[in-house]
Structure 1
Amino acid sequence: MADGAVKMAEAGCQYITVLGVDFMSENVRAILDQAGFEKVGVFRMSREEIGCSLADAAASPNYTHFLETASKASPSLHVIYINTSLETKAHGHELVPTITCTSSNVVHTILQAFAQVPNLSIWYGPDSYMGENIAELFHQMAGMTDEEIAEVHPEHNSTTIKSLLPRLHYYQEGNCIVHDMFGHEVVEKIKELYCDAFLTAHLEVPGEMFSLAMEAKRRGMGVVGSTQNILDFITRRVKDALDRDLEDHLQFVLGTESGMVTAIVAGVRRLLNSLESSSKRPRVTVEIIFPVSSDSITRTSMNACHVPSSFAAGDLSMPTLIPGVTSGEGCSIHGGCASCPYMKMNSLRALLQVCHHLPDKDNSLTAYQAKGFSSTTPLGRSVAEVGCEPILHMRHFQATGKLPDKLIQQILDHSEKDEMKL
């Protein structure tokens, strides 16, 4: 998002609106300032605070205490979920060498870090569900064969996985309010009604849902991972069924945000349409079950959703719906935080209101301006400069598959400082 804002500024854009939570607009403001575009206006969509339960958890005194504990263990690496404020990243990085992660790369980031630094301790936060699920995933990997483990990461085997287990720590007081919906009651309903369905689970959902999907994964009937992993799994299964050219009815339980339903339906629809264009009617139907509480989604009619006849979609109480842009849910056609009450504060009405008042000669948009970082870290450095570094470390990892030398040196230097204190 911030990179996109820089490109807009380079193209001559004078005002940028951010449809997201506050830490996103703050990040955009900071990156623009660093790139020399201090005069470009950045505006958020509400006079009120647009929070985020995960970002708030990482900004708490308890999280600082978690990192202070980490700073006393050497060598240590702080792996922080990308959905946190730049200020949190900066303060964390000064306490413990830090790299950001996404749900798509967190597992490989941690495994690569353990491979590159002997006796490393990992401190992950702030999402407690994701931390618990990563620990569970590694416990299950410890029981796999070396060949199976090598398929996940070539530098690991059962011995190395077992050795890293006691050195993986995660924060236990931070949850995403959206993923919190996938709890015990939902799991029991899935077991009762959808025991033969394909099961999917995001790394952020509660452990019961995650464990259920992990068990299904071992049977070849499930997937755990990022939203993209889930989307790829479902489209691949549908394509396999179409290639067999047999009558089949596929059921997928979707353990992630409601907005994902839109992207999944669009992907499957493309597959079916490609078959119909070859004058061959598909013999496969797809049912997507979105198992969350009824108050977390928008109920609509089938006509309003424009759902093709080859689909059935609904939650366990069986309303007809396709969350996403077409039914007033979802922050993009690719899904996302569609059930988050904070993200829903980004309305078209709010956007039009902000745009109507630009260029804001009467200062009526002061409350909508993104927060800037004029403050410094405890060590006197720029919050924007220090907070961006963990993101740059992640980008290096994404490009090369390895942690950057600079981060490795920061880990070793931090370890030497701790030894000198002793």
Structure 2
Amino acid sequence: MKEFPSETQELQTRVQILKKKKNAVVLAHYYQEPAIKEVADFVGDSLELAKKAAQTSAGIIVFAGVHFMAETAKILNPEKKVLLPDLNAGCSLADSCEPESFRKFIEQHPDHIVVTYINCSAEIKTMSDIVCTSSNAERIINSIPKEKKIIFAPDKNLGDYLIRKTGREMLLWDGSCVVHEAFSIDKLLDLHKKYPSARIIAHPESESHILRAASYIGSTSGLIKYIAKTDWTTFIVATEAGILYDMQKKFPEKTIIPAPAKEDNSCACSECAYMKMNSLQKLHLCLKNETPEIELEERIMEKAALPIKRMLELSIEYVVQN
């Protein structure tokens, strides 16, 4: 796999030393740069990271991801110090759901259960009955009594996918992720002609025409598990390009190809600019100086914790039953 320059390796060593010295844990999302993932104590998707954040005994949590993820870690660990290497690492999907507008939307439909995708702000979570991730969204929706009406926010693409999968009617908030809406169906089909034996696999935040072309649709971790369990050897992957490093690392014998983006860019794929705002240098400084820190009002944390914990409890029940 990737050989890092000597200066990068030196910085990685410093991070490892600081983690031990400060009793800190580094949690990293799959979409982070490889140099960060190699020093992380755990790399995963939103659900896996939320579980790890809830379980950790470390005094300091450094979250190499985006702002809503670090907020979730803080909500689950109100007494612990939670750090984010770059406070400006936001999320286009979370930004598409402004709290005051969403509050009015809920007030207009008072008889609805509010299900929110974890990719939203802490304030949006306070207005939710239950939170979900792409890993457990279908399970969460199916757990709600059929007579109950549902609001699903903020991702309309994931919501549309869930309507088709569960058969439930849902009122969708008009939000989306710019990364997962950046894939070009025309370029994707042309690429598939070049690799006719490849299977297209996609994240459910992608637009419906991309999902219709996919052989498998799943969460970030779900995509990895799918590659692991199949004998197929070539895959075109429609999600943020950061996952390609992990896939190639786990499956060096398989061919992993990024789905092409509409825009011409250096990687010919779709990358999240927010995720890439974090760097190994920022991670090192963040751990060294114990800043920037995620701070939330106590009332926000208490209220937002309820729908997150409901999700985690349901996830645990599912694992036990299966």
Query: Is residue 226 from structure 1 mapped to residue 224 from structure 2 by the alignment?
Result: no
SS at match of 1:293: coil
Decide which of 365, 369, 383 is 2:293's aligned counterpart: 369
Decide which of 352, 374, 395 is 2:284's aligned counterpart: 352
Q: What does the per-residue CA deviation read over 1:292-337, in whole Å, with 9 as the maximum and x for residues that have no partner?
A: 23978765xxxxxxxxxxxxxxx68xxxxxxxxxxxxxxxxxxxxx
Q: What does the per-residue CA deviation read over 1:51-81, in whole Å, with 9 as the maximum and x for residues that have no partner?
A: 111211233444333322332x3xx321111
CA contact (8 A) 2:68 2:120 kept: yes
Aligned partner letter, 2:223: I
Distance change (3 Å), C-alpha of 1:253 and 1:61: same
Decide which of 298, 308, 311 is 1:391's aligned counterpart: 308
Q: What does the per-residue CA deviation read over 1:395-421, in whole Å, with 9 as the maximum and x for residues that have no partner?
A: 22112249xxxxxxxxxxxxxxxxxxx
Distance 2:171 2:83 in 1: 37
Distance change (3 Å), C-alpha of 1:185 and 1:371: farther
Which structure 2 residues correspond to residues 173-322 of structure 1 after superposition, within 5 A?
174-190=175-191, 192-213=193-214, 222-238=215-231, 250-269=233-252, 286-293=254-261
Query: Is residue 170 from structure 1 mapped to residue 172 from structure 2 by the alignment?
Result: yes
CA contact (8 A) 1:124 1:169 kept: yes
Q: Considering only CA atoms, is the larger Rg found in Structure 1 or Structure 2?
A: 1
Q: CA RMSD of the aligned region, Å? A: 3.0
CA contact (8 A) 2:188 2:260 kept: no
Distance 2:309 2:272 in 1: 28
Distance 1:26 1:229 in 2: 24
Distance 1:205 1:111 in 2: 21
Aligned partner letter, 1:400: E
CA contact (8 A) 1:187 1:208 kept: no
- State the 1:129 CA deviation: 1.3
Aligned equivalent of 2:6: none
Unaligned runs of 5+ in 2: 1-48
Aligned equivalent of 2:67: 22
Query: Is residue 32 from structure 1 mapped to residue 34 from structure 2 by the alignment?
Result: no
Q: What does the per-residue CA deviation read over 1:17-67, in whole Å, with 9 as the maximum and x for residues that have no partner?
A: 33222223333334333xxx2xx5433323x53211121123344433332
Distance 2:51 2:140 in 1: 22
Unaligned runs of 5+ in 1: 139-160, 214-221, 242-249, 273-285, 300-314, 317-337, 359-364, 375-381, 403-422
Q: What does the per-residue CA deviation read over 1:133-166, in whole Å, with 9 as the maximum and x for residues that have no partner?
A: 222335xxxxxxxxxxxxxxxxxxxxxx4xx3xx
SS at match of 2:213: helix
Aligned equivalent of 1:44: 84
- State the 1:110 CA deviation: 1.1
Aligned partner letter, 2:141: I
Aligned equivalent of 1:69: 108
Distance 2:261 2:181 in 1: 11
Aligned partner letter, 1:168: M
SS at match of 1:70: coil
Distance 1:135 1:291 in 2: 25
Aligned equivalent of 2:14: none
Distance change (3 Å), C-alpha of 1:136 and 1:187: farther
- State the 1:126 CA deviation: 0.5
Decide which of 112, 123, 144 is 2:143's aligned counterpart: 112
Aligned partner letter, 2:284: L
Decide which of 294, 311, 317 is 1:400's aligned counterpart: 317
CA contact (8 A) 1:2 1:32 kept: no
Identity of aligned residues (%): 26
- State the 1:190 CA deviation: 4.1
Structure scoring higher RCO (CA < 8 A, sep ≥ 6) equals 2
Distance 2:53 2:148 in 1: 36
Distance change (3 Å), C-alpha of 1:225 and 1:30: closer
CA contact (8 A) 1:258 1:297 kept: no
Q: Which has the higher helix share?
A: 1
Aligned equivalent of 1:123: 151
- State the 1:192 CA deviation: 4.3
Aligned equivalent of 1:219: none
- State the 1:191 CA deviation: 5.5
CA contact (8 A) 2:65 2:278 kept: yes
CA contact (8 A) 2:138 2:165 kept: no
Distance 2:265 2:247 in 1: 17
- State the 1:5 CA deviation: 5.4
SS at match of 2:256: strand
Q: What does the per-residue CA deviation read over 1:322-375, in whole Å, with 9 as the maximum and x for residues that have no partner?
A: xxxxxxxxxxxxxxxx921111121121123334445xxxxxx5xx2322214x
Aligned equivalent of 1:304: none
- State the 1:267 CA deviation: 2.9
Aligned partner letter, 1:104: S
Distance 1:131 1:257 in 2: 19
SS at match of 1:176: coil
Distance change (3 Å), C-alpha of 1:137 and 1:190: farther
